[in-house]
Structure 1
C-alpha cells in the first residue's frame, strides 16, 4: 500500500480525507503536505477554506466544497472536530445535517479535497456514517507509533531527504532525542543535511549532532549510576545545573524514571508484555523497553529503598533546610551505596 504522504507528493489526490488520532504532529504534517502540493501560493487566498464543526454546521462547509474553485483547478476544505464520528455526540453544540453529508460522500465534488480532521483517539465504528467515511475516504490513523513503526517512519523521512540511516544510528537517535515526532523530525532533518554528501547517517553523526532532551539526560544519569560510572553521572548532573535546570525538576524526573523502572518490573512479573505495559502506564513503548533493561539491574529491595530515598529527598527539597543541589548529590551518593551493597 502506498503511504498517504507519498500519494500527496505525487499529486494522487482523493476527494475526501479522514485524518484521525491523537498524534497531532502526523495530522499537521499531512495537512501541510496537502496545502503545499494541492494549491499554489496564489490559489490559497481563493481556494483554501477551514471550518470548525463545533461551531459551524457541516452543511455550510459542504456548500463551500460544492462551489467551483476560483482561478484554479481544485479547492481544499478542512473540517475540524467532527464530533459526530465519535460516541460523544451528546456534547455537540451544533445541529448537523448528516443526511447531506452522507449524500455528499456518495458523490463528492471532483474539484474539491474535503479533509476531516478528527483529533480523537477513537471513532465510533458502529455508526453508519463512520463506516461510510472510512470506506470512501483516504484514511490516516495518526496514533502514537510503536518502536517498529517509529523506526520505519524515520527511515521513510530520511529517504524523503535523500539519505539512508543506519540501524544503530536509529537506536541512538531515539535514545538521545526521545520519541516526540516534532523533535525527532527536527533532529533527523539536521542530520540529513549533514550527511547529504555521504548519503548515510551514521551512529557517530547522531552522537555528535543530536541535542539531548532533559528526560534523556536524566535517563543517562540514572544509567551511569546503575552501571558504576558515577563520575559520568555527576558530570551530567553538574552540566544540567550549569544550564540552569531547577534541582526540584531534576529530582522529579529522576523519581519519574525510577517509578517507571519499578512499575515495569512489577508488571513484567505479572506477565504483561512491553506493549501492554506501555498502554497501561500511558508511556511510549520505547521508554518501557529501556526501563525494562534497567529494571533487570535492580532487586525488589533496592527499588523499595530507592523509592523511600526519593520520597525523603522530595521532603527535604520542599523544606528550607539543605541547599537543593546538595540534596540530589546526597541522593546520588546513597544510590551508589545501595547498588554496591546489593550488587
Structure 2
C-alpha cells in the first residue's frame, strides 16, 4: 500500500482526526479508498443523517462547501463533509473561490472533517492555495505506480483477503491490467469471489475469471514472438483476427510496446543473466526470463526497429495512413514484419 495512504488510514482507524483532508493525484484508487473509509466509519448510522454531507464538485461553489463545513454537529461529536471530484468545484480556479478555501484551511472548524477528493491531478503548487495544501498534515498526492510496483500491490490485496496467488498469476494480472489500480483491484476481487478459501490462485484461474483465452492471449503472443515461433504466432493471430471485438488490437500494441521498451532498457544491463536483468530492472527474478530470451533472439537494432513498427502500427490503428485495412490485418502485418 502507498505509504501516504497507509499513514492516513492508520490514524483514522486510531480515531486521530484532522479537520482537513486533501487527497489528490493521478492515482484515484487510494483517494477512493480513504474517502470511502471516512464515509462509512467516522460517524454511526444514527449520526450520519444530520452530520454527514457528500457533494460533487460540479454541483457546488467553494462557498456552498464552506457553509456545510462551518456548521456545528448536531447530537454528535463531529460532522463529515466529503467533496467528490473536487477538481470540478465551480469557482475553484477563480481568485475568490481559491481565497475562500485558503482562508478556511488556515482556520478550519475543529469539529468538521472536510475531505477534498481532487481526482486525476493536483492543486497548482505555484499558487498560494497549492503551497498551503502541501503543508497540511493530511494532504496526500498519489501517483500512478510503476510497473515493478504492481506485483507487491497484487500480493498485498490478495493476502489482505486471506488468499495466496502464485507468481505466474501475479504476472498475468500485472501485465494484462496494467497500472490502473482501481481496475486491478476489481479484477483481483473478481478472481477471489470465484475461488475457494485456502486455494492457491493460479494463472489458469486468473485467465478463466478475467476473460483471457488460455491458449490465445497477448501473453502467449508475446512468448511466441520473443521465441520467433512463426507457427504459434500464426495460430494466435488467426484467432485474434476472427475475434477482434473480444481482442481489441490497440491495447495489444501498447502491451508489446511496453515490453520491448523494457527489453531495450535491459539490453544495457552489464549482467544479462536472469538474476542480473532482475536486479537491473528492479523486478522479481521470476519475470526476468522473457527479457533474457528476447535479448538472445533480437539484436539491439531489431529491438529499435520493433519499437518503431509498434509506433507506426499504433498510428495506423488510430486512423493515420491506415487505408482500408482492418484491425486484424494491421496486426497481422505488424507481427510478420517483426518476425523478419
Class of the TM-score when normalised by the shorter of the 2 chains: 0.5 to 0.7
- Residue ranges of structure 2 left out of the alignment (5+ in a row): 270-282
Q: Could you list the per-position Cα deviations for residues 222-269 of structure 1 after superposition, in whole angstroms to 9, with x for gaps in the alignment?
A: 43122133444344334434444299x52x555545655666666777
Structure 1 unaligned regions, length at least 5? 84-88, 272-284, 339-343
Which residue of 10, 35, 46 maps to 1:31?
35
Q: Is the 8 A contact 1:151 1:170 kept in 2?
A: yes
Cα separation, partners in 2 of 1:32 and 1:104, compared to 1, 3 Å = same
Given the superposition, is the C-alpha separation of residues 239 and 261 from structure 1 closer, same or farther in structure 2, using an over 3 Å criterion? same
Q: How does 1:149-188 map to 2 (within 5 A)?
A: 149-188=149-188
Count of residues paired in the alignment = 311
| Kept after mapping to 2: 8 A contact 1:77/1:114 | yes
**For residues 221 and 178 of structure 2, what CA distance do their matches in structure 1 show?**
15
Match of 1:96 in 2: 97
Partner residue in 2 for 1:49: 53
Q: Is the 8 A contact 2:28 2:182 kept in 1?
A: no
Pairs within 5 Å for 1:87-126: 92-93=93-94, 95-96=96-97, 98=99, 101=101, 104-105=104-105, 108-119=108-119, 121-125=121-125
| CA shift in 2, pair 1:70/1:292, >3 Å | farther
Q: Aligned equivalents of 1:265 and 1:235: distance in 2?
A: 25
Q: Which residue of 2 aligns with 1:20?
A: 24
CA distance in 2, matches of 1:114, 1:217: 46
| CA RMSD across the alignment | 4.6
Aligned residue in 1 for 2:146: 146
Distance 1:147 1:259 in 2: 13
| TM-score under structure 1 length normalisation | 0.67
User: 1:20 Cα shift?
Assistant: 0.9
CA apart distance, 1:67: 0.8
Q: 1:143–1:308: structure 2 CA closer, same or farther, 3 Å change rule?
A: closer
- Aligned equivalents of 2:58 and 2:127: distance in 1? 19
* Kept after mapping to 2: 8 A contact 1:20/1:118: yes
Residue 139 of structure 1, CA deviation: 2.7
Q: 1:4 is matched with which residue?
A: 8
- Counterpart Cα distance in 1 of 2:320 and 2:58: 48
- What does residue range 1-343 of structure 1 map to in structure 2 within 5 Å? 2-9=6-13, 11-40=15-44, 43-50=47-54, 57-70=61-74, 72-79=76-83, 92-93=93-94, 95-96=96-97, 98=99, 101=101, 104-105=104-105, 108-119=108-119, 121-125=121-125, 129-195=129-195, 197-198=197-198, 201-203=201-203, 205-212=205-212, 217-218=217-218, 220-245=220-245, 250=249, 252-253=250-251, 255-256=253-254, 260=258, 296=295, 297-303=297-303, 307=308, 314=316, 318-320=322-324, 325=328, 328-329=331-332, 331-336=334-339, 338=340
Q: Secondary structure at 1:115's aligned position in 2?
A: strand
Kept after mapping to 1: 8 A contact 2:241/2:329: no
- How far is 1:17 from its partner? 0.8
